[in-house]
Structure 1
C-alpha cells in the first residue's frame, strides 16, 4: 500500500481455482475471412475479433461506449480517425483507441486483433 505494507496473498485459493486439465488444442478455432471481422470471443466482459485486410475498411465505433485495443499481427496499415489523426500500425504494435472515437479508416495490408469491453 502507500505506506509500504505488503498485502495478503491468497495463493492457496488461487491454486484451487486453476483448471489443470491438459487439452489437446488450446487454439480458438475460427474460419479466416478476408476484409471483414471474424468474432473470436464474445462474452459479458469483452469482445475480440480478428481482421485480415488487404483493402481499405472503415470501422464504425459510433455506437460503442468503450475504448478499443488494436494489436497488429502481420503487415502494416495507416489508420485515420474521424478527426483526421493518422498513425501507422504494424505487426507487433498495439494501439489504444479512445472511447470518443467514432470511426477508423484502415488502409494497407494488415492482420490485427480488435478488443473492446
Structure 2
C-alpha cells in the first residue's frame, strides 16, 4: 500500500434506499447559474428556480452527500427529492422554516396553497 492511497470497493454507492421520493421539474429563470447542494432544503432554494415549491417542502436532493446540482440560466432539469429524516429541523438557509419541518402552522399553510392551486387548475381546465 502506498501512503495516502485509497483502496475503493467496486460496488455502487446506494443512497436513501427504500425511501419515498418525488421528481420535480426545475427551470432557472435567472441570468446566472445556480447550484443547490445535497442537503439544502429544496423548498428554500433560490427564488429564480421555478418549480412546484410546496411539493419540495421537507425534501432535499436525492444525490450523494457533498454533491450539488447546477442549473444554468434557462435550463430545465428534472430532479429527484427525498424527505429529511432524523429530527427534521431546518435552520438558516433562506429562513423560511427555521425549526421543525412538521409544525402544524407551516404544514397547514402549504396544504391550503396546494388546495388553492388544484382549484385554479380545475377552473382553467373547465374554461378550456
TM-score, normalization by structure 2: 0.25
Higher helix share: 2
